[in-house]
């Protein structure tokens, strides 16, 4: 069992977001980088499923050279192989990314390492397209389970579950399959020092994209106008309590 | 024609975000010279639901029925939408930007090999067809061109308020039994457990949410906050720091990767207001921030604030509520 897990290098928007002059992307020069929490969940699941099935988890990213940092992070927490599709992710739409991932899945199968399970995040933290996993499933002709937080594999069947609108939902799907993950079902592990050392030694498979990207349908990015502050300060410390309760009464939220 | 996927709650009503999407569709239809708005839903709608949809200006309600729709499958729902859209020739296919809405429309877009825009907040123009949507957890807006037909997109929650139409539609019911391939039923829900009463369902529908962030200090720092929750008959919502430190369970998290809430009043205590948290609480009608830092983004973006230590302010508020109740 050799699951493939897909992660994307994204700006950490906890810091201020600056756009490039052409409005086509986020200026990464002053930003920190991370992956989505959903993808951290997917990496943890891939590592556990690989360990249970006596195989190894492969991490994949499509990104520029710096994205190797995200591959190393996944290797440090238990992935055993990594594939880097070297390309500018801002020039790739979700259909393009799905096509490239599908090409890796086919090539690895041909080379003797089939990935019967591909795990992705439910949505990327930057573009938030909510599509790559589903488009990948159509590329491969596989079933796809979307937005689940726990995933396990036994006897060629993947069991996955997560919160749905009517309750906790469970899916059972024969492999091969694509699954997109929401954070919260598993606790991602922290990298250990030996884990980091080992990660540094893994030889990363680097490859070129297989086709020209169609591109995202982006016209441009803009920053939303800052909302003017109209905050009414009710007071400081415990002395503000009467003013707070006055407000609760005025808003009619003080149930009797 | 514009086709909108409407989600039906377990109680049988059209969920608010779907009614928002229909409202958005109607505005779009007006720009397009008054093209009709049809909806697709799963199951047989009762008279009340059909009436509500008609009041929203809906021309036809296409109800997907048959064994393929007994339990959820994204591919089967998409197959139904695509079949209805092909017969009716819709130029736009829309849904609310909910987990189901985004999933089903991604299937539709993949099947029709057209782009999809998730979490659209506004419509730009017809030729070329452009929309603006939220990206980077709401920190950035993206203008997108949807050149192909149908234009496929989902509407971000609370981008427009749900409102009935000035002129109601016919709301004519059309029962549909699409042919769904076996392959589209492989990934379907096999069991659904009733939600725990106080899981995020209560959080997303609470009138008052008390928020707690790193300022709570430790897993033991929640007693006063929970008392306030009880006094206000509300729910507790927390920041990601709180869940990742294991102080509180993940289903209480508010934000980009947690629940999106829209209460009458949100009271974030010791939460800085990072953009990913803001993404989940910006729809609150009023926000009362309690924070030691007067410059915290949560304070400057709130409607009301108290500057101070939550461990002093919250117990004093609790005492004042109890005192007034006598
Ligand atoms: C991809 C991604 C997704 C994310 N998703 C989410 C999400 O869904 N939800 C979410 O919340 N975050 C999310 N985050 C994390 C987010 O960026 C912030 O790190 C997080 O919201 C900060 O939590 P906090 O406000 O509790 O902590 P901090 O940012 O550390 O703020 C603590 C605040 O408490 C105040 N304070 C301290 N002590 C006291 C006291 N005694 N009394 C009163 N005030 C006090 C401080 O002044 C400060 O303002 C995400 C991040 C990423 C990268
Ligand atoms: N450039 C990329 N490289 C690797 N995986 C990606 C990339 N873009 C998206 N993904 C995966 O697809 C998921 C959904 O992304 P999206 O459809 O863009 O919201 C992400 O959480 C990732 O797991």
Residue A227 or residue B237, greater confidence? B237
CATH code, domain with B230: 3.40.50.1220
Give the per-residue pLDDT at A27.
87
Average pLDDT over residues A208-232: 91
Residue B286 lies in a domain: yes
Residues 6+ apart with CB under 8 A from B67: none
CA–CA distance, B73 with B57 (Å, rounded to integer): 28
Has residue A151 got a pLDDT over 80? yes
Residues B282 and B222 in one domain: yes
Omega before A233 cis (within 30°)?
no
- Helices B99-112 and B74-88 sit at what angle, rounded to 10 degrees? 60
Average pLDDT over residues A26-31: 84
Give the per-residue pLDDT at A255.
65
Residue B191 lies in a domain: no
Q: How confident is the model at residue B154 (pLDDT cuts 50, 70, 90)?
A: very high
Residue B51 lies in a domain: yes
Q: Which residues pair with A154 in a beta bridge?
A: A157
Give the per-residue pLDDT at B139.
86
Q: How far is the CA of A156 from the centre of ligand 1 (A)?
A: 41
Contact between B66 and B42 under an 8 Å Cβ cutoff? The reply is no
Q: Which residues line ligand 1 (CB under 6 A)?
A: A 12, 14, 34, 36-37, 125; B 213-215, 239-242, 253-258, 270-272, 274, 276-277, 280, 290-293, 296, 309-311
Has residue B199 got a pLDDT over 80? no
Strands B2-5 and B92-96, sheet pairing: parallel
Residues B259 and B161 in one domain: no
| Percent over 70 (pLDDT), chain A | 98
Average pLDDT over residues B144-153: 96
Give the per-residue pLDDT at B197.
52
Is residue A220 within 8 angstroms of chain B, CB to CB?
yes
At residue B253's C-alpha, the angle toward residues A30 and A162, to 5°, is: 110
Give the per-residue pLDDT at B203.
87
CATH code, domain with B163: 3.40.50.620
Q: What is the mean pLDDT of chain B?
A: 94
Residue A206 or residue B275, greater confidence? A206
Residues B180 and B253 in one domain: no
Work out whether the CA dihedral A192, B213, A166, A144 comes out positive or negative: negative
Has residue A54 got a pLDDT over 80? yes
CB contact under 8 A, B115 and A217: yes
Residue B194 lies in a domain: no
Give the per-residue pLDDT at B201.
64
Residues B58 and B163 in one domain: yes
Contact between A47 and A192 under an 8 Å Cβ cutoff? The reply is no
Q: What is the pLDDT of residues A65-83, one digit of tens each?
A: 999 999 999 999 999 999 9
Give the per-residue pLDDT at B11.
86
Residue B156 lies in a domain: yes
Residues B22 and B159 in one domain: yes
Residues B163 and B206 in one domain: no
Please name each of the domains of chain A with its CATH number. Answer: 4-207 (3.40.50.620)
CB contact under 8 A, B257 and A169: no
Q: What is the mean pLDDT of chain A?
A: 94
Residues B177 and B240 in one domain: no
Residue B193 lies in a domain: no
Give the per-residue pLDDT at A225.
83
Residues B178 and B219 in one domain: no
Is residue A103 within 8 angstroms of chain B, CB to CB?
no
Nearest Cβ partner for A219 among B115, B119, B145: B145
ipTM of this predicted structure: 0.89
Q: What is the pLDDT of residues B19-67, one digit of tens each?
A: 999 999 999 999 988 899 999 999 999 999 999 999 999 999 999 999 9
Residues B173 and B228 in one domain: no
Q: How confident is the model at residue B195 (pLDDT cuts 50, 70, 90)?
A: low
Has residue A16 got a pLDDT over 80? no
| Percent over 90 (pLDDT), chain B | 81
CA–CA distance, A179 with A146 (Å, rounded to integer): 6
Which structural domain range is residue B129 located in? 2-185
CB contact under 8 A, A164 and B72: yes
Q: What is the pLDDT of residues B162-188, one digit of tens each?
A: 999 999 999 999 999 999 999 999 999
Residues B242 and B304 in one domain: yes
Q: How confident is the model at residue A219 (pLDDT cuts 50, 70, 90)?
A: very high
| Percent over 70 (pLDDT), chain B | 98
Q: In terms of CA atoms, which chain A residue is nearest residue B146?
A: A217
Enter the tokens of residue B56: 């929203």
CA–CA distance, B19 with B98 (Å, rounded to integer): 12
Q: How far is A93 from chain B, CA to nearest CA, in Å?
A: 9
Q: How confident is the model at residue B200 (pLDDT cuts 50, 70, 90)?
A: low
Domain count, chain B: 2
How many Å from the N-terminal Cα to the C-terminal Cα in chain A? Answer: 58
Residues B32 and B164 in one domain: yes
Q: Of all protein residues, whose CA lies closest to atom 21 belonging to ligand 2? A: A121
Give the per-residue pLDDT at A184.
85
């Amino acid at each position: 069992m050799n699951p493939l897990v897909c992660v994307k290098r994204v700006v950490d928007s906890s810091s201020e977001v600056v756009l490039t002059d052409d409005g086509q992307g986020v200026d990464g020069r002053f930003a920190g980088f991370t992956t989505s929490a959903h993808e951290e969940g997917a990496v943890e699941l891939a590592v556990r499923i690989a360990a249970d099935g006596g195989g190894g988890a492969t991490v994949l990213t499509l990104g520029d050279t710096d994205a190797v940092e995200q591959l190393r992070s996944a290797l440090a927490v238990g992935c055993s192989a990594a594939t880097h599709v070297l390309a500018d992710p801002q020039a790739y739409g979700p259909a393009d990314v799905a096509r490239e991932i599908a090409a890796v899945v086919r090539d690895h199968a041909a080379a003797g390492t089939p990935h019967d399970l591909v795990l992705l995040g439910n949505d990327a933290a930057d573009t938030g397209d909510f599509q790559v996993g589903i488009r990948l499933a159509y590329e491969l002709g596989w079933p796809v389970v979307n937005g689940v937080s726990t995933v396990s594999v036994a006897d060629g069947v993947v069991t996955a579950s997560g919160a749905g609108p009517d309750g906790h939902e469970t899916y059972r799907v024969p492999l091969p399959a694509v699954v997109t993950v929401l954070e919260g079902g598993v606790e991602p592990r922290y990298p250990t020092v030996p884990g980091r050392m080992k990660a540094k030694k893994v030889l990363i498979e680097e490859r070129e994209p297989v086709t020209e990207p169609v591109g995202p349908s982006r016209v441009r990015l803009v920053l939303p106008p800052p909302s003017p502050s109209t905050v009414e300060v009710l007071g400081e410390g415990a002395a503000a309590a009467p003013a707070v309760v006055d407000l609760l009464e005025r808003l009619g939220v003080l149930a009797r | 024609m514009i086709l909108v996927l409407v989600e039906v709650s377990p109680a049988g009503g059209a969920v608010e975000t779907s009614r928002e999407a229909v409202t958005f569709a109607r505005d779009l239809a007006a720009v397009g010279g008054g093209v009709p708005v049809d909806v697709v839903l799963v199951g047989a709608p009762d008279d009340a639901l059909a009436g509500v949809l008609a009041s929203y200006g809906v021309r036809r309600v296409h109800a997907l029925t048959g064994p393929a729709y007994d339990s959820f499958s994204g591919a089967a729902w998409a197959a139904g939408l695509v079949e209805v859209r092909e017969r009716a020739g819709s130029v736009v296919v829309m849904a609310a930007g909910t987990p189901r809405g985004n999933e089903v429309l991604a299937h539709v877009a993949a099947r029709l090999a057209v782009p999809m825009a998730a979490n659209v907040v506004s419509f730009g123009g017809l030729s070329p067809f452009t929309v603006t949507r939220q990206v980077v957890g709401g920190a950035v807006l993206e203008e997108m061109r949807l050149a192909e037909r149908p234009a496929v997109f989902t509407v971000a929650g609370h981008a427009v308020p749900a409102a009935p139409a000035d002129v109601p539609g016919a709301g004519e019911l059309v029962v549909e039994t699409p042919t769904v391939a076996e392959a589209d039923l492989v990934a379907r829900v096999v069991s659904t457990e009733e939600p725990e009463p106080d899981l995020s369902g209560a959080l997303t529908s609470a009138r008052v949410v008390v928020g707690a962030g790193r300022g709570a200090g430790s897993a033991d720092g929640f007693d006063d906050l929970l008392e306030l929750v009880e006094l206000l008959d509300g729910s507790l919502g927390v920041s990601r720091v709180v869940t990742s430190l294991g102080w509180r369970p993940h289903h209480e998290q508010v934000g980009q990767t947690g629940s999106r809430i829209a209460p009458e009043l949100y009271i974030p205590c010791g939460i800085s207001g990072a953009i990913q948290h803001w993404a989940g609480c910006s729809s609150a009608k009023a926000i009362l921030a309690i924070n030691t830092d007067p410059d915290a983004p949560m304070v400057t973006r709130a409607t009301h604030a108290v500057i101070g230590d939550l461990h002093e302010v919250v117990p004093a508020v609790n005492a004042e509520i109890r005192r007034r109740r006598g």
